[in-house]
Structure 1
Amino acid sequence: MIGIVYLGKNLKTQERLKYIPGHTVKFTSTYKDAAEVCTTNLTDEHFIVFYERSVRNEDLTAITYLHKKFENLYIILITGPLSSQDRLIYQNCGINDTLDVDATITEFNKKICFIADREEILFKKQTLKNRILRFHIPIWKRSFDIAFSLLAIIILSPVFIFTIIAIKLESRGPILFKSKRVGSNYKVFDFLKFRSMYLDSDKHLKELKDENQYISSETSPQKAGAPLGEEAEKAQIESGIPTDLMISDDEVMLVGDDFVISENDFNKQKSNDINNAFVKIENDPRVTKVGRFIRKFSIDELPQLFNILRGDMSIVGNRPLPLYEAEKLTADEYIDRFIAPAGLTGLWQVERRGNGGKMSAEERKQLDIKYGRTYSFSLDLKIIFKTLTAFIQKDDV
């Protein structure tokens, strides 16, 4: 429900608002009265406040007070012409929209209907607070992360030094590789690894897409629909099939600038994209000799200890994903993997890492979701122990 409040003393505006169809407007003359209406009326979750502009300093005080007392407001400033400076000042103070002081009843009503139809979108604070579950790392987990990562950095400092020297001697380029990754709460951060590939290796990823271990063998790339235009019509005519019978009455077709595809085929392709979200290449030719060694013993992952110190990651959690992978996992059934800590190691790594890294994309996603729902101190210790005993991989993956 949306309540409507008028704050001002303009009799002409008040008269027009009395005749808004289907809505009862509460009339107030002071901002404290308007705030009282919003905070005591429990039947309305959100409010539209039509605020009649007066002296700028008084307006700013009133608008700030209203937002402080009741945050679920959509404030429309009723005003004459505004200078660019005044418009910016009012917007920064919390005005959502403006309406001309001589607006008709119809214009008022259109504005109200527009807001009511988009209630959940426009009242962002209420929607985000009630509907988004955010992960907050427990104190025990954060304390353990700091202590463990600091100790590991000190103990492994000789490994850091030798690795830096080896990478620098073998190939040109930076020692560390930074990539944008998506962690818990869909937060994007700079993910650190020792560089194990030649420069510009990411530009050759498309050339190796057929080697991706996670691509389902049951599906193969298909063209997204049939072309439109004269060539398509000619092909239909030559095939002997009438063009007006090509689509069944109950089939929904999606039409783009240069293709047409049935809704069923589109949904299949979208599902295929989600199923093949992860990328992993066996015997990747882009990897250097030093890179193969440090990957085999997971040395390339050690700089992530600094990510853990910064709070981007945890020792144990779900692997933070590259942006191109994460964007494919925003469906309702997979979003839970992001309501969990991002981790250096995790459940799926120790479950199947000793099996040559073989794992379907669906298995990996389900293990991520399982960890996010069930993680505990004892489970973290178990995963760490398994990681320490299984970090040497038998296969080059």
Structure 2
Amino acid sequence: MLYYIYIGNDHTIINHLSKVTDGMFMAVPSCNKATKVIDGIRERYNTSILYEQNNAEEDCRNISFLHKRFPRVYIILITKLLQDRDRRLYLQAGVNNTLPPEANESSIRQMTRFLKTRKESKLQEFSLYHRKSLNEFRLPLWKRLFDIFFAAGVLIALSPLLIATVIAIRMESRGRIIYKSQRVGSNYRIFNFLKFRSMYANADKHLKELNSLNQYKMEEEAADEKPDIRFEDLVGSEEEEATLLISDDFVISEEDFLKKKSQEKQNAFVKIENDPRVTRVGRFIRKYSIDELPQLINVLNGDMSIVGNRPLPLYEAELLTSDDYVERFMAPSGLTGLWQVEKRGGAGKMSAEERKQLDIKYARNFSFWMDMKILLRTATAFVQKENV
């Protein structure tokens, strides 16, 4: 899912680009308001800024600020004609590309393909860089054999449930049955993480039905002052996957974000109940964790283990690259793990730091008997009481 944040006031250009761009399009009138929107987007490589050209000196000052604040965001200058004397100024400020206001769908599709290729390249760059700095973790033979037999056995035993789920998803809505997202597992290796799809195929369009994300309402309600919340201050968590999501990406309304941030110093994300994009089947399979069952295929492929540390989205993994937390990735990534069974269903009572320390504890001490204890505790905590 791509995000386009348009900065400017030309409603003719806004209306045109909102129709031809393929993704979530939002328009704000100022750089500071765009900053607040981007602070709520968790997947920065999916985000592009469309900056409407005005005064070169002021533009470059704003673009330089955005580029330093969000180095992973792709910045596109919307301009009819760029003078040679200004070209270098915009390039030095951080502009990555230019686009005419009347850009057609073909141009946008070409840019979209480039942005997707760029994202894949950045992900691989991230993975390779951190893997080179580690002594590679190797899964013990006993654990790999257990994973294969256990995953194959569960898939066979639950095949009627899996078939019924596939049929139910297909009957209720169009779209792919299996949804893939990229996760970071052992040794910072990135792989396709599998789930049953629980949202409508055009889930992104339903976002516009939510007032907090309406592009024009956002213009009216956003405050003018410089934001004091930085993405680097945030720590994502497993339970957040049940909140407002597009794939693994997340956009939160500014009002709710600031309110929650003032109440809680960690994990400042708001749960939005009754998300209209979640299907009826999706609510059921989420509640009983049936949507997680395709990850048994990940286990057979060797991407994951049955028991281990939960593989993380890139935005979370990037926050855990320091020496204090790198040990977390020197262990199997798994379907269930130590912190999940400590307080499953009430994980909000456990701080982010506690979860990290439990992951590190597992990395240091995992064994066959420890895995068996975690599996037994998972079985008793499998059905979540909370309707997410």
Normalising by structure 1, report the TM-score.
Answer: 0.49
Q: Offset of 1:318 from its aligned partner?
A: 0.8
**Map of 1:154 onto structure 2:** 156
- Higher Rg: 1
Q: Aligned match of 1:311 in 289, 302, 306? A: 302
1:333 pairs with 2:294:
no
Q: Distance in 2 between matches of 1:371 and 1:356?
A: 17
Q: Offset of 1:348 from its aligned partner?
A: 1.3
- Letter of the 2:171 counterpart: L
Root mean square deviation, CA, Å: 3.1
1:263-342 alignment, distance < 5 Å: 269=230, 272-273=233-234, 275-276=235-236, 279-280=240-241, 281=243, 282=271, 283=273, 285=275, 286-342=277-333
Q: Offset of 1:198 from its aligned partner?
A: 2.1
Q: Offset of 1:207 from its aligned partner?
A: 11
Cα pair 1:318 1:341 within 8 Å, conserved: yes
Q: Offset of 1:384 from its aligned partner?
A: 0.5
**Map of 2:180 onto structure 1:** 178
Q: Offset of 1:137 from its aligned partner?
A: 0.2
Q: Distance in 2 between matches of 1:362 and 1:314?
A: 23
**Map of 2:371 onto structure 1:** 380
Q: Aligned match of 2:343 in 352, 356, 360? A: 352
Q: Offset of 1:325 from its aligned partner?
A: 2.1
Q: Deviations 1:91-120 (Å, cap 9, x if unpaired)?
A: xxxxxxxxxxxxxxxxxxxxxxxxxxxxxx
What's the secondary structure of 1:179's corresponding residue?
Answer: strand
Corresponding pairs, count: 218
Cα pair 1:277 1:328 within 8 Å, conserved: no
1:155-304 alignment, distance < 5 Å: 155-201=157-203, 269=230, 272-273=233-234, 275-276=235-236, 279-280=240-241, 281=243, 282=271, 283=273, 285=275, 286-304=277-295
Cα pair 1:356 1:394 within 8 Å, conserved: no
Cα pair 1:277 1:329 within 8 Å, conserved: no
Q: Deviations 1:233-262 (Å, cap 9, x if unpaired)?
A: xxxxxxxxxxxxxxxxxxxxxxxxxxxxxx
- Letter of the 1:184 counterpart: S
Q: Deviations 1:64-104 (Å, cap 9, x if unpaired)?
A: xxxxxxxxxxxxxxxxxxxxxxxxxxxxxxxxxxxxxxxxx
Greater relative contact order, per chain length (Cα 8 Å cut-off, separation 6+): 2
Q: Measured at CA, do residues 277 and 155 of structure 1 come closer, stay the same or move farther in structure 2, by a change above 3 Å?
A: closer
Q: Distance in 2 between matches of 1:373 and 1:336?
A: 8
Cα pair 2:325 2:360 within 8 Å, conserved: yes
Q: Offset of 1:359 from its aligned partner?
A: 3.2
Cα pair 1:337 1:369 within 8 Å, conserved: yes
Q: Distance in 1 between matches of 2:197 and 2:355?
A: 25
Q: Measured at CA, do residues 332 and 148 of structure 1 come closer, stay the same or move farther in structure 2, by a change above 3 Å?
A: same
Q: Distance in 2 between matches of 1:272 and 1:359?
A: 18
Cα pair 2:131 2:187 within 8 Å, conserved: no
Q: Offset of 1:144 from its aligned partner?
A: 0.3
Cα pair 2:182 2:192 within 8 Å, conserved: yes
**Map of 1:393 onto structure 2:** 384
Q: Offset of 1:284 from its aligned partner?
A: 5.5
Cα pair 2:143 2:368 within 8 Å, conserved: yes
Q: Distance in 2 between matches of 1:206 and 1:133?
A: 46
What's the secondary structure of 2:343's corresponding residue?
Answer: helix
Q: Deviations 1:127-161 (Å, cap 9, x if unpaired)?
A: 987x5222100001001000101111110000011
1:78-117 alignment, distance < 5 Å: none
Q: Distance in 2 between matches of 1:371 and 1:334?
A: 13
Cα pair 1:313 1:343 within 8 Å, conserved: yes
Cα pair 1:308 1:315 within 8 Å, conserved: yes
Q: Distance in 2 between matches of 1:357 and 1:163?
A: 29
Q: Offset of 1:189 from its aligned partner?
A: 0.6
Cα pair 1:182 1:321 within 8 Å, conserved: yes
Cα pair 2:191 2:303 within 8 Å, conserved: yes
Q: Give 5+ residue unaligned stretches, structure 1.
A: 1-126, 211-220, 226-264
Q: Offset of 1:201 from its aligned partner?
A: 4.0
Q: Measured at CA, do residues 222 and 349 of structure 1 come closer, stay the same or move farther in structure 2, by a change above 3 Å?
A: farther
What's the secondary structure of 2:181's corresponding residue?
Answer: strand
Q: Distance in 2 between matches of 1:207 and 1:365?
A: 36
Q: Distance in 2 between matches of 1:222 and 1:132?
A: 44
Cα pair 2:340 2:347 within 8 Å, conserved: no
1:367 pairs with 2:358:
yes
Cα pair 2:134 2:187 within 8 Å, conserved: no
Q: Measured at CA, do residues 356 and 292 of structure 1 come closer, stay the same or move farther in structure 2, by a change above 3 Å?
A: farther
Q: Measured at CA, do residues 277 and 315 of structure 1 come closer, stay the same or move farther in structure 2, by a change above 3 Å?
A: closer
Q: Offset of 1:298 from its aligned partner?
A: 1.1
Q: Distance in 1 between matches of 2:322 and 2:386?
A: 32
What's the secondary structure of 2:195's corresponding residue?
Answer: strand
Q: Measured at CA, do residues 385 and 223 of structure 1 come closer, stay the same or move farther in structure 2, by a change above 3 Å?
A: farther
